[in-house]
Chains A and B, each alone.
Chain A
Amino acid sequence: MKIIIIGDGKVGYSLAENLSNEDNDVVVIDKDPEALRKANEYLDVMCIKGNGLSTKVLIEAGVKEAQLLIAATASDEINMVCCLTAKKLGVERTIARIRDPEYADELNLLKDDLGLDMVFNPERAAAREISRMVRFPQAANIEIFARGRVEIVEIRISKGISIVGMKIREIAEKISSTILIGAVVRNDEIIIPNGDFRIEEDDILHIVGKPAIVSSFCRQIGIDNQKIKNVMIAGGGRIAYYLAKFLEETGIKAKIVEINEERCVELSELLPHTLIINGDGTDDTLLHSENLSEMGAFVALTDMDEENFMSALMAKQAGVQKVIAKINRNNYIGIIKSLGIESVINPSQIITNHILRYVRGMKNAQGSPIEALFRIIDGRAEAIEFTANESTDFLNIPLRDLKFKEGILVAVIVRKNDILIPHGNDMIKAGDSVILIVRGRKISDLNDIIASR
């Protein structure tokens, strides 16, 4: 598929990287030759220096034959006009990054008039993700599938948890809850475990199941789940705004520490129920005087990765139960996780996941639609949700009679309101949502999972 990306910033680069690795023809447009240089050297994409607003540049990039245009420049307005122009020039679909909260409310209006097929807001998506983490603090990460009926929860196994040293088969005997351990990360390697797999300390489990059951499972194995009642946010950017707004809705109290006074005033007008503190979010005396150690969660959201990392460590030391850091640079994430900050948020990664799902869905318009996609460790494994329909080749066949490709696990089948952790006798029926865990390959249609018969 031919895709044009305007704007080679963090999000643009990450999209170009992932989309070109999935065998799409990607053209990147940016005004800054320095930004393009990296993409040109390390990615198999075509780079065009120029203004994405200019029809000449868009035509040079092949907008007429392109299926998708993604506008991800720093300016919402430019993104909108780019999409409008491109649509007029004949691109099939457009996606724009629009992140100003002021536009957020009129998005539906804008979408129709500008011919936008999808609008994304990395900050809002990141905030949504963080709020989910705050509500389920035991998990380092939570992804929802089947419209919230199924969750994949990432949990690190620490000392003293009752299942350390047990085989997965034994867990199933001892704790009778219908959950599935879908993938295990051990020493930076992804394993799709079978019944004989023995769980060790420091493994990171990806547990699949109904939200209520997953949380009761966590309780049973000895991971305490106290509800978080108050959150401290360092840095008052857009993510902080959205996060505070989401937290207000759920009744969790939030406190934002922001260094810029004007921004503080602005925030205090926008968020009447949130406490706004004017000060340096990395200043320990200030944070302690604001009762850092009493906080249920600490979220570091300043613009600097390094500051976020340091203040997160500080909070961890002060004994805050749940610490979340926003990190923009992908290569930092491994280091930070190794130092004990497990919950790391990368806005561009979240958006990349969303758009990859959209693109794969576009590619496979006739087949079974992709409902959700979540990537585990840099996309080396994926959890992906499809809806089975008439196009699926293997309906109503017991799973044991099917031969799946290697590295594929059918984790959950959701049929109406039933959540099935499938066994050999179960079968996939039309209308089911099927959640797969896939390692080492890219799946864009449900039929792709069957080894050639």
Chain B
Amino acid sequence: MNIRLIIKNLSIVICIEALCMLFPFLIALIYGQNDAMAFLLSALITFCAGLLMLTTKVKTNNFYTRDGFAVVALSWIFVSVFGSLPFLLSGTIPSPVNAFFETVSGFSTTGATILDNVETLPRGIIFWRSFTQWMGGMGVLVLTAAVLPSAGASFYHVLKAESPGPNPEKLVPKIGQTAKILYSIYIVLTSFLVILLLIAGMPLYDALVHAFATAGTGGFSSKTLSIGAYGSVFIDVIITVFMFLFGINFTLYYHTLKGNFRSFFKNEEFRFYIGLVFASIIAITLNLVLNGFYSFGEGLRHSAFQVNSIISTTGYSTTDFNLWPVFSKFILVMLMFIGPSAGSTGGSVKCIRFLLLFKIIKRELAKIIHPRVVHTVMIAGKAVDETTLWGTMAFFFIYIIIFVISSLIVALDGKDLISSVTAVITSIGNIGPGLGIIGPMGNYSGFSDLSKIVLSFCMIAGRLEIMPLLVLFSPAAWKRASI
């Protein structure tokens, strides 16, 4: 590992985070609440720390995949530590573990909270919570690449580690340019959402908070009751549609902008995603209506919202789905494992990996029936290479392993099985609300500090798709002569 260069890269990320803290500072100033000082101080501390690290003298410019992974993993940990300063300094969350949990939940776009009453918080703090989700959605380091004038070839390793999905695709030859395009699409979509929410009658401040959290597929709200607090069909529909949109691979938007509309329907992952969404909505609606929960219209509204909220890993709610029949709840738990498309802002395993896993199973079957069959796994007419297939299987395995071990540790708290297990599923899948005591109306304050740290780890691991964190904790990667 090239530790000096890693620190240098970290310093830039931290400096950019410090600059981002100025937005909530402005909000705090506008509303004249007492949290303005906390933001100014946090920004200063963060910026000074960044500058201090920037003074590192770089000896060599060698930067390989392992360094890229380490930069990403360390950046996320550092950004979360510094990002929790406003919570601590303003006194809104006095416990460091809670503050860290809340910040990780923000950056990883999980949206799990330890606060029971959001409305009492200062406005700057609520804005910062949502803003971290907006940054975390597309990626803190992708932001760095978009902002820096020249992100070199080595940044590809960083993109590879931070972007969700098995094989991140460059849109244009230059990596910096790719990051700029991604962020432009992101900003345009977010702005659209803000405008629509304003038209729907949401106040500007609420519209910003919800647009940021929806765009990042995070799910922090300025209301304890989440979107349900507005009770407006129009707002529900807008948020439903946009949660769906932010779960789509951003590459498809780029191709559409370039005039290639058909790319949407040619994309197998998109077809899988949209099919899954519609099937789940229909199944849940029928289940709810037949069990006499809602009328058909109401059932459709709530099931569409909840399905999109869970599959895009946003985690907003319009109703307490904890009270729904088991069949509906189980579909939601299933969706928690699947997640949206690769290259979106969502978390979890991603549709493309399930698609690949199904195709691998199909091939295994074919191999038993015709032992000498030669079968290439194809996605949208293109052969998928074996390394990607192996990577996908390994990823799925490690995902399950981390889920099992974390559940085991969380189980030490002695909470009920549903709550403990879904807490881990939603943390590692970056969703937010689970079932039981952490359902849409509950929160995570009941867990012990140990569980909160394990869950925080799960959230970062889930957002970075595990490997970067494993590299960071693997001693072999740090050895001078790694053998």
- Residues of chain B with a CB closer than 8 A to A42's CB: 153
A226 CB to nearest chain B CB (Å): 44
Query: Cα distance A2–B170 when bound, in Å?
Result: 15
B125-152 interface code vs A (CB 8 A; 1 in, 0 out): 0000000000000000000000000011
Query: Cα distance A44–B156 when bound, in Å?
Result: 8
> When A33-B385, A41-B65 are in contact, do A25 and B174 touch as well, CB less than 8 Å?
yes
Query: Cα distance A45–B385 when bound, in Å?
Result: 20
Query: Cα distance A42–B65 when bound, in Å?
Result: 10
Check: A268 CB closer than 8 A to any chain B CB. Answer: no
- Residues of chain A with a CB closer than 8 A to B153's CB: 20, 42-45
B234 CB to nearest chain A CB (Å): 41
A188 CB to nearest chain B CB (Å): 15
Query: Cα distance A33–B175 when bound, in Å?
Result: 20
B161-200 interface code vs A (CB 8 A; 1 in, 0 out): 0000000001011110100000000000000000000000
Asked if A41 contacts B172 (CB within 8 A), the reply is no
With both beta carbons as reference points, the residue of chain A lying nearest to B157 in the complex is identified as A41
Check: A46 CB closer than 8 A to any chain B CB. Answer: yes
Query: Cα distance A2–B156 when bound, in Å?
Result: 19
Asked if B157 contacts A44 (CB within 8 A), the reply is no
Check: A158 CB closer than 8 A to any chain B CB. Answer: no
Query: Cα distance A2–B173 when bound, in Å?
Result: 9
With both beta carbons as reference points, the residue of chain B lying nearest to A28 in the complex is identified as B173
Asked if A44 contacts B65 (CB within 8 A), the reply is no
Query: Cα distance A44–B151 when bound, in Å?
Result: 9
With both beta carbons as reference points, the residue of chain B lying nearest to A3 in the complex is identified as B173
Asked if B174 contacts A44 (CB within 8 A), the reply is yes
- Residues of chain A with a CB closer than 8 A to B151's CB: 44
> When A33-B385, A41-B65 are in contact, do A46 and B157 touch as well, CB less than 8 Å?
no
Listed residue (A25, A33, A40, A46) with the most chain B CB atoms within 10 angstroms of its CB: A46
Q: Which residue from A27, A33, A44 sits with its C-beta under 8 Å from B152? A: A44
B158 CB to nearest chain A CB (Å): 12
Query: Cα distance A130–B172 when bound, in Å?
Result: 39
- In A19-63, the 8 Å CB interface with B consists of 20, 25-27, 33, 40-46
Query: Cα distance A2–B172 when bound, in Å?
Result: 10
A380-412 interface code vs B (CB 8 A; 1 in, 0 out): 000000000000000000000000000000000
- Residues of chain A with a CB closer than 8 A to B156's CB: 40-41, 44
- Residues of chain B with a CB closer than 8 A to A45's CB: 153, 173
Query: Cα distance A41–B153 when bound, in Å?
Result: 7
Asked if B175 contacts A44 (CB within 8 A), the reply is yes
A379 CB to nearest chain B CB (Å): 16
B213 CB to nearest chain A CB (Å): 33
A333 CB to nearest chain B CB (Å): 20
Asked if B173 contacts A25 (CB within 8 A), the reply is yes
With both beta carbons as reference points, the residue of chain B lying nearest to A56 in the complex is identified as B381
B261 CB to nearest chain A CB (Å): 16
With both beta carbons as reference points, the residue of chain A lying nearest to B381 in the complex is identified as A56
Query: Cα distance A232–B385 when bound, in Å?
Result: 48
A165 CB to nearest chain B CB (Å): 34
Asked if B173 contacts A46 (CB within 8 A), the reply is yes
B452-463 interface code vs A (CB 8 A; 1 in, 0 out): 000000000000
- Residues of chain B with a CB closer than 8 A to A41's CB: 64-65, 156-157
- Residues of chain B with a CB closer than 8 A to A43's CB: 153
- Residues of chain B with a CB closer than 8 A to A33's CB: 385
B215-250 interface code vs A (CB 8 A; 1 in, 0 out): 000000000000000000000000000000000000
Query: Cα distance A214–B366 when bound, in Å?
Result: 74
- Residues of chain A with a CB closer than 8 A to B64's CB: 41
- Residues of chain A with a CB closer than 8 A to B65's CB: 41
- In B320-354, the 8 Å CB interface with A consists of none
A43 CB to nearest chain B CB (Å): 5
> When A33-B385, A41-B65, A44-B152 are in contact, do A20 and B157 touch as well, CB less than 8 Å?
no
> When A41-B65, A41-B157 are in contact, do A46 and B170 touch as well, CB less than 8 Å?
yes
With both beta carbons as reference points, the residue of chain B lying nearest to A33 in the complex is identified as B385
With both beta carbons as reference points, the residue of chain A lying nearest to B383 in the complex is identified as A49
- Residues of chain B with a CB closer than 8 A to A40's CB: 156
Query: Cα distance A447–B371 when bound, in Å?
Result: 69
Q: Which residue from B152, B155, B157, B173 sits with its C-beta under 8 Å from A26? A: B173
Asked if B173 contacts A20 (CB within 8 A), the reply is yes
B416 CB to nearest chain A CB (Å): 48
A23 CB to nearest chain B CB (Å): 8
- Residues of chain A with a CB closer than 8 A to B152's CB: 44
B391 CB to nearest chain A CB (Å): 14
Listed residue (A2, A41, A43) with the most chain B CB atoms within 10 angstroms of its CB: A41
Listed residue (B153, B156, B173) with the most chain A CB atoms within 10 angstroms of its CB: B173
Asked if B172 contacts A46 (CB within 8 A), the reply is yes
- Residues of chain B with a CB closer than 8 A to A25's CB: 172-174, 177
- Residues of chain A with a CB closer than 8 A to B173's CB: 2, 20, 25-27, 44-46
B433 CB to nearest chain A CB (Å): 39
With both beta carbons as reference points, the residue of chain A lying nearest to B382 in the complex is identified as A49
- Residues of chain B with a CB closer than 8 A to A44's CB: 151-153, 155-156, 173-175
Listed residue (B65, B151, B174, B177) with the most chain A CB atoms within 10 angstroms of its CB: B174
B313 CB to nearest chain A CB (Å): 29
Query: Cα distance A51–B65 when bound, in Å?
Result: 28
With both beta carbons as reference points, the residue of chain A lying nearest to B63 in the complex is identified as A42
Query: Cα distance A46–B156 when bound, in Å?
Result: 10
Query: Cα distance A393–B172 when bound, in Å?
Result: 35
B343 CB to nearest chain A CB (Å): 15
With both beta carbons as reference points, the residue of chain B lying nearest to A65 in the complex is identified as B258
Query: Cα distance A46–B152 when bound, in Å?
Result: 13
With both beta carbons as reference points, the residue of chain B lying nearest to A24 in the complex is identified as B173
Query: Cα distance A46–B170 when bound, in Å?
Result: 6
Listed residue (A2, A27, A44) with the most chain B CB atoms within 10 angstroms of its CB: A44
B122 CB to nearest chain A CB (Å): 43
B385-397 interface code vs A (CB 8 A; 1 in, 0 out): 1000000000000
With both beta carbons as reference points, the residue of chain B lying nearest to A34 in the complex is identified as B385
Query: Cα distance A42–B177 when bound, in Å?
Result: 17
- Residues of chain B with a CB closer than 8 A to A20's CB: 153, 173
B33 CB to nearest chain A CB (Å): 45
With both beta carbons as reference points, the residue of chain A lying nearest to B151 in the complex is identified as A44
A59 CB to nearest chain B CB (Å): 10
Query: Cα distance A146–B88 when bound, in Å?
Result: 70
A169-200 interface code vs B (CB 8 A; 1 in, 0 out): 00000000000000000000000000000000
Listed residue (B64, B65, B156, B157) with the most chain A CB atoms within 10 angstroms of its CB: B156
B381 CB to nearest chain A CB (Å): 10
With both beta carbons as reference points, the residue of chain B lying nearest to A4 in the complex is identified as B173
Query: Cα distance A27–B155 when bound, in Å?
Result: 17
A21 CB to nearest chain B CB (Å): 9
Query: Cα distance A140–B174 when bound, in Å?
Result: 37
Query: Cα distance A48–B172 when bound, in Å?
Result: 11
Query: Cα distance A26–B151 when bound, in Å?
Result: 15
Query: Cα distance A44–B176 when bound, in Å?
Result: 9
- In B257-276, the 8 Å CB interface with A consists of none
Query: Cα distance A33–B156 when bound, in Å?
Result: 17
Query: Cα distance A76–B209 when bound, in Å?
Result: 60
Query: Cα distance A25–B385 when bound, in Å?
Result: 26
- Residues of chain B with a CB closer than 8 A to A46's CB: 170, 172-173
B410 CB to nearest chain A CB (Å): 38
Query: Cα distance A60–B144 when bound, in Å?
Result: 28
Query: Cα distance A163–B151 when bound, in Å?
Result: 46
A116 CB to nearest chain B CB (Å): 23
Query: Cα distance A83–B192 when bound, in Å?
Result: 43
* B residues lining the A interface (CB < 8 Å): 64-65, 151-153, 155-157, 170, 172-175, 177, 385
* A residues lining the B interface (CB < 8 Å): 2, 20, 25-27, 33, 40-46
Q: List 8 A-B contacts (CB under 8 A).
A: A25-B172, A27-B173, A41-B156, A43-B153, A44-B152, A44-B155, A45-B153, A45-B173
Extra contacts besides A41-B64, A43-B153, A44-B152 (5): CB < 8 Å: A40-B156, A44-B151, A44-B155, A44-B156, A44-B175
6 smallest A-B Cβ distances: which pairs? A44-B153, A46-B173, A25-B173, A46-B170, A43-B153, A45-B173
